[in-house]
Structure 1
């Protein structure tokens, strides 16, 4: 069970339409596939989606740091020495997505070796999660049409609405159109990606107070310390810290400082090991948790549902698991299926999915 090689393979798959939000936009899944090889011939896989506008990582940077720093750090370790791998990678500042992908590929390889699913190894609380679909910037008509299609085709009834534009009325009009078009049975919540000021956020939430929103995420920047604390104190829904609360230390700072009342956990940036730490802290502090989406492909979504379904706390709310539906293709041999508004855990060993070698050859950028 010793790690003998680590690969970082860049690839690119187009989206059918760009996803637009306050901190950037994405036209293609320009990701990095990480593969961990063992001396037993087992290969664990995970996906690394760079988000330069959020964490500063790029596709080329991910390949470089995995190949030159993290691979040498974990070579020779056994798959059960995950804490050693975590500690060695933690010596390097930043690079959360690269660290997470190596971590999850090790977990996948361990699960394949033991013939156990990662979700079982983590906790095995349930075998599925409700799905939340993320709606990017567009006109009210287009966003209502997309949500209606997702509801009709996949049974999804929870929607995360990207906001944060100026003027604020652009977004409040969209959310109102969604509520009117979808009815009262659908759950809506908003994510500003730090696009508004604290005062703009307060105004927007007042204007939408009759729309029965359930969460508000990263409406204003976390470094506006006093403004964000002032905003959170007046909200009547949980304020979710996402990119401002990646590590346990971040979570502690934001919550005890009064700048957040709920947390988004994304396996794409904290892996399974770091996500466990975040989950246990949130459980201890009595915080609500949302399993977030890093604009993941199917491999990333499989990781998210594997972790989210492993615990009671992380499976209570719908997980953001559906944005792979916007991709023109994917790398998996068997596509993920959302049915009745739910995504089931594979149940197979490891993360439970396999990479199609022909598709990887088609989309990889290093050949």
Structure 2
């Protein structure tokens, strides 16, 4: 099970419509397919979605750091030397999506070598997760129409609403319109992507106090330590740390300083190995967790549901597992299927999905 080759293949797939939120907007999935080959013939894959406005990574940067720095350090190790891999990757600052995709591709190859699913290897708590759908910036009627379509087509009844614009009333109006349309039949939570100040955030949350929200995520910047601590102390629902907690150490700081009370785990940011650390830390601290989405394609979503389903804590809440529906196409041989608001863990060894070589050739941009 020795690692013999590592590939980083950039590809681009357009979105059906731009995805807009407080920290930026995305028009196409400019992602990177990471592929790990081994001496026993196993091939593991994962997806790296760069988010330059959040973590500073670009598609070209991910490709080059994997090819020039990470691959030479990892080739020759075995699939079981994950701690050695982790230590060597940690020697390079940043690059969370590149590191995470490489880590998950190694886990995928390991599962394929052993004939077991990654979800089983991680913990195997359940074989499916409820799905939450992210609703981007739009007029209230458009937001409601998209949510209604998601419920009719896929049975989704949990929605994460992007907020953080000024005036804040345009966003609180969308959340209120959703509650008025669906009543108590859906779960709603909000994500500000650090778009407001602490005081603006509190005013907005007071406007929405009667809407039964289950979470509030990243409403204001994390570096406003005093303002954020003050905001969190005023809220009566969990405050989710997402892009502000790229490492377990960040989680510890936020929880102990009172600037967050829950954690969003993104396998695109922490892979499987570091996500395990995040999970165990959150479990020990007694904080809630939600499986987040880095606007992943279907491969990245398969990774998310594989990890989220492995543990009781991460499978308790609906995971953000549907944003691949906004893509005009994808790379998988067999598309993921959401039914009755649930996404099953793909069957088969490893992550359980296969890349369609024709689609990869169509969308890759390095040829």
Same fold (TM over 0.5): yes
Using the alignment, how far apart are the partners of 1:7 and 1:164 within structure 2? 38
The residue aligned with 1:165 is 165
Using the alignment, how far apart are the partners of 1:9 and 1:263 within structure 2? 31
The residue aligned with 1:98 is 98
Structure 1: gaps spanning 5 or more residues? none
1:159 to partner: Cα distance: 0.1
1:347 to partner: Cα distance: 2.8
The residue aligned with 2:263 is 263
SS for the counterpart of 1:199 is: helix
Note the alpha carbon deviations across 1:344-367, whole angstroms, 9 max, x for none: 001310000000000000000000
Note the alpha carbon deviations across 1:18-37, whole angstroms, 9 max, x for none: 11000000110000000001
SS for the counterpart of 1:264 is: strand
SS for the counterpart of 1:66 is: helix
Using the alignment, how far apart are the partners of 2:114 and 2:184 within structure 1? 46
**Residues 161-310 of structure 1 correspond to what in structure 2 (within 5 A)?**
161-310=161-310
Using the alignment, how far apart are the partners of 2:277 and 2:69 within structure 1? 23
Note the alpha carbon deviations across 1:319-349, whole angstroms, 9 max, x for none: 0000000100000000000000000001310
SS for the counterpart of 1:339 is: coil
Using the alignment, how far apart are the partners of 2:326 and 2:181 within structure 1? 22
- Give TM-score scaled by structure 1 length: 1.00
SS for the counterpart of 2:129 is: strand
**Is it true that 1:351 corresponds to 2:354 in the alignment?**
no
Using the alignment, how far apart are the partners of 1:182 and 1:32 within structure 2? 38
Note the alpha carbon deviations across 1:211-232, whole angstroms, 9 max, x for none: 0000000000000000000000
**Is it true that 1:43 corresponds to 2:40 in the alignment?**
no
SS for the counterpart of 2:41 is: coil
1:185 to partner: Cα distance: 1.4
SS for the counterpart of 2:335 is: coil
Using the alignment, how far apart are the partners of 1:312 and 1:156 within structure 2? 21
Using the alignment, how far apart are the partners of 1:70 and 1:358 within structure 2? 27
Computed over aligned residues only, the root mean square deviation of the Cα atoms, in angstroms, reads 0.4
Structure 2: gaps spanning 5 or more residues? none
The residue aligned with 1:341 is 341
- Kindly tell me the number of residue pairs found equivalent between the two proteins: 367
**Is it true that 1:142 corresponds to 2:142 in the alignment?**
yes
SS for the counterpart of 1:328 is: coil
Note the alpha carbon deviations across 1:219-253, whole angstroms, 9 max, x for none: 00000000000000010100000000111100000
SS for the counterpart of 2:272 is: helix
* Runs of 4+ that moved beyond 3 A: none
SS for the counterpart of 1:31 is: strand
1:184 to partner: Cα distance: 1.2
1:39 to partner: Cα distance: 1.1
